[in-house]
Amino acid sequence: MYDFELPRVVDTIKREGYTRVALQFPEGLADYAAGLAGEIERETGAEVIIAADPCYGACDPADVAMKALGVECLFHFGHSPILKKTAIPVEYVEVRMDADPVPLLEEHLELLCRRVGLFTTVQHVHLLDEVRTFLEGRGFEVAIGPPGGRAVHPGQVLGCSFRTAVSVAGEVDCYLYLGSGDFHPLGVALASRRPVFALDIASGELRDMAPLAERTLKQRYARMARAVDAGTFGIIVGQKRGQKRLKLALELKEKIEGRGREACLISADLITPETLMPFRRLDCLVNTACPRITIDDAQRYRQPLLSPQELEMVLGERDWEDYSMDEF
């Protein structure tokens, strides 16, 4: 079902003469790690180390830690490249997923608008052309945005980069997302303010994202309302290389202090409610690290956890109607 591009991985190791390599997987693919490590060792004779710290994106390759173990090359699975410089060579294996979305789509065509924007995650970008051809054959106009932001493929979005989809908002009446999970279609719904339908290839469902988008927006406004009178703010600075926005954090601190309130910077590698538990005296937290943390984990934080854009709204620097997603 998944394509781990084993022949390419093996060829690379043999061609470059690597004797020790590492494999890094996001949580959803980690189940396959031990099996792949064994196959690679058998095929190449190289030693293989699995990098097991949690990994949520290509913003967080394990190159530095693996270099310290004498690893010559890191194979990073499940994401497209983000960082330009790494401590050792990093080979990205995007892990395409085999699927045929057309029969499922055919059952739900009546829900779509005439002009449709297509988007997906890196696992399914190879399916977009087939879906476009199918929809055009049924009389739909289809738009697929060019790569932009952190996306390297047409139609690709990441949890911190919806630009590819939003860039065609003017040409579409609704969007169709191919893939699993709610975060990416929710992000495009909030970023574009267009109807979004999510075709979940794994479960066989087509979901209208409108109810979740509305509920999420209500929750975000409730959190902002709780933060309006906050006197003390903690601004979170991520330590992962592709999530570090110190300059932005410093600007936010200055804005908060300019309004006569107090702010401090808090930096962590893994940002969790447990990491931030000791800072319970702060009235409000602002997250400049991975934007997914702000939305996905919001319920688990004691204080309101805001995005930089939401902070601007709370401080009166941005119109409350002008809600926008935090993106890199």
Per CB under 6 A, 242 contacts ligand SF4: yes
User: What is the number of other CB atoms lying within 10 angstroms of the CB of residue 294?
Assistant: 26
Give least dist CB 81 to ligand SF4, A. Answer: 11
Residues in 282-311 at the binding interface with ligand SF4, rule: CB under 6 A:
290, 292
Phi/psi-derived region of residue 193, left when phi > 0, alpha when psi is between -120 and 50, beta in every other case: left
Nearer to ligand SF4 by C-beta: 12 or 120? 120
Among 128, 160, 190, 295, contact with ligand SF4 (rule: CB under 6 A): 160
Give least dist CB 292 to ligand SF4, A. Answer: 5
Among 23, 88, 144, 158, contact with ligand SF4 (rule: CB under 6 A): 158
Residue 183, amino acid: F
Give least dist CB 150 to ligand SF4, A. Answer: 6
Cα-only R_g, the chain: 21
Per CB under 6 A, 188 contacts ligand SF4: no
Rounded CA separation 188/185 (Å): 5
Give least dist CB 293 to ligand SF4, A. Answer: 8
- Window of 57-65, 98-106, 123-131, 260-268 that interacts with ligand SF4 by CB under 6 A: 57-65
Per CB under 6 A, 29 contacts ligand SF4: no
Give least dist CB 97 to ligand SF4, A. Answer: 17
Asked if residues 39 and 57 have their Cβ atoms less than 8 Å apart, the reply is no
Nearer to ligand SF4 by C-beta: 101 or 187? 187
Nearer to ligand SF4 by C-beta: 48 or 252? 252
User: Which has the closest alpha carbon to 101: 179, 208, 186?
Assistant: 179
- Window of 50-58, 117-125, 127-135, 198-206 that interacts with ligand SF4 by CB under 6 A: 50-58
Q: In this structure, what token pair is assigned to residue 72?
A: 């010559």
Asked if residues 67 and 87 have their Cβ atoms less than 8 Å apart, the reply is yes
Nearer to ligand SF4 by C-beta: 128 or 290? 290
Q: In this structure, what token pair is assigned to residue 190?
A: 């909030």
Helix, strand, coil shares of the chain, percent, nearest 5, are: 40, 20, 40
Q: Can you give the length of the chain in residues?
A: 328
Nearer to ligand SF4 by C-beta: 50 or 270? 270
Among 4, 18, 25, 56, contact with ligand SF4 (rule: CB under 6 A): 56
Residues in 61-100 at the binding interface with ligand SF4, rule: CB under 6 A:
none
Give least dist CB 243 to ligand SF4, A. Answer: 5
Per CB under 6 A, 243 contacts ligand SF4: yes
User: Which has the closest alpha carbon to 73: 84, 81, 63, 58?
Assistant: 63
Helix boundaries (H) for the chain? 6-16, 33-44, 63-67, 102-107, 128-137, 163-166, 183-192, 210-227, 246-258, 273-276, 291-296, 308-314
Q: In this structure, what token pair is assigned to residue 139?
A: 């009389």
Rounded CA separation 115/174 (Å): 7
Among 13, 22, 59, 71, contact with ligand SF4 (rule: CB under 6 A): 59
Per CB under 6 A, 149 contacts ligand SF4: no
Give least dist CB 92 to ligand SF4, A. Answer: 12
Per the DSSP assignment, residues forming a β-bridge with 207 are 198
The binding site for ligand SF4 (CB under 6 A) comprises 56-59, 158-160, 242-243, 290, 292
